[in-house]
């Protein structure tokens, strides 16, 4: 006799937003948006609903940016935004570099046409069940032949521990789980000999031989910020595909 399906616990409604905060609830982060609402709305400009719910507020529709659909803009400002979209400027600056070659890593062969993400998804959706199983087995076999045993290593140096204990300004956009992860990354870097122990930077070699850090996928640069604060490293180079927001200054 089959077991009756378990009843799902109804999700509780979100708490009221803090004073002066946007009323948009972020379910993945389990908090409200941290932005300030517009004077005529309970929401900020990023989360203004399609149909204005506030009395007397005009209808303002948000549409995806044609340059970068990951963000939206007000329809009335779309034409002006396209001309000054930060991603458009960044893409133009990248294309102007002498080393740039469009589609060089797309695997398009000599034709250079490349394969878009949408085309790749379409090919996967066209696979039969047997073809999909064969593809999964092929991936598992390739992983098993190349994978190596991994061990957990959680290390926090004294320099990072002092930094974490002295970080009392709650306005800094750090979350404890991220800080702990970054501190452990730095701890393992020191254990492998990539950093001077004790959070000290050797000065006897002069500026020319001072340590330098290149961080790929830097995001907002928090890891490099911790390196700069704890180890005094000043020669840094951050690489981020979507760095146009530049929300953190080091």
CA–CA separation, 145 and 155 (whole Å): 29
CA–CA separation, 216 and 121 (whole Å): 27
- Is 33 marked as a binding-site residue? no
Both tokens assigned to 169: 């300004």
- Is 65 marked as a binding-site residue? yes
- Is 47 marked as a binding-site residue? no
CB 44 within 8 A of CB 24: yes
CB 48 within 8 A of CB 38: yes
- Is 143 marked as a binding-site residue? no
How far is CA 148 from each of CA 41, 92, 143, 151, rounded to the nearest angstrom? 54, 41, 9, 10
Q: Which residues are annotated as a binding site?
A: 65, 71, 81, 85
Q: Which residues are annotated as a binding site for Zn(2+)?
A: 65, 71, 81, 85
């Amino acid at each position: 006799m089959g077991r009756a399906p378990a009843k799902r616990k109804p999700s509780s409604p979100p708490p009221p937003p803090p004073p002066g905060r946007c009323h948009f609830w972020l379910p993945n982060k389990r908090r409200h948006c941290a932005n300030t609402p517009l004077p005529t709305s309970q929401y900020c400009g990023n989360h203004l609903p399609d149909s204005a719910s506030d009395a007397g507020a005009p209808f303002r529709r948000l549409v995806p940016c044609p340059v970068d659909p990951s963000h939206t803009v007000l329809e009335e400002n779309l034409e002006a935004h396209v001309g000054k979209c930060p991603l458009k400027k960044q893409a133009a600056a990248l294309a102007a570099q002498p080393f740039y070659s469009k589609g060089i890593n797309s695997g398009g062969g000599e034709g250079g046409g490349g394969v878009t993400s949408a085309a790749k998804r379409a090919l996967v959706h066209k696979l039969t069940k047997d073809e999909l199983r064969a593809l999964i087995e092929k991936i598992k076999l390739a992983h098993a032949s190349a994978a190596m045993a991994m061990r957990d290593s959680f290390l926090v140096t004294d320099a990072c521990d002092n930094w974490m204990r002295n970080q009392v300004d709650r306005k800094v956009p750090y979350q404890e789980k991220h800080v702990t992860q970054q501190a452990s990354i730095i701890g393992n870097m020191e254990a492998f000999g990539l950093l001077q122990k004790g959070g000290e930077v050797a000065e006897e070699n002069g500026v020319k031989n001072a340590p330098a850090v290149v961080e790929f996928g830097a995001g907002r640069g928090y890891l490099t910020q911790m390196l700069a604060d704890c180890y005094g490293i000043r020669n840094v180079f951050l690489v981020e595909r979507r760095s146009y927001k530049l929300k953190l200054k080091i």
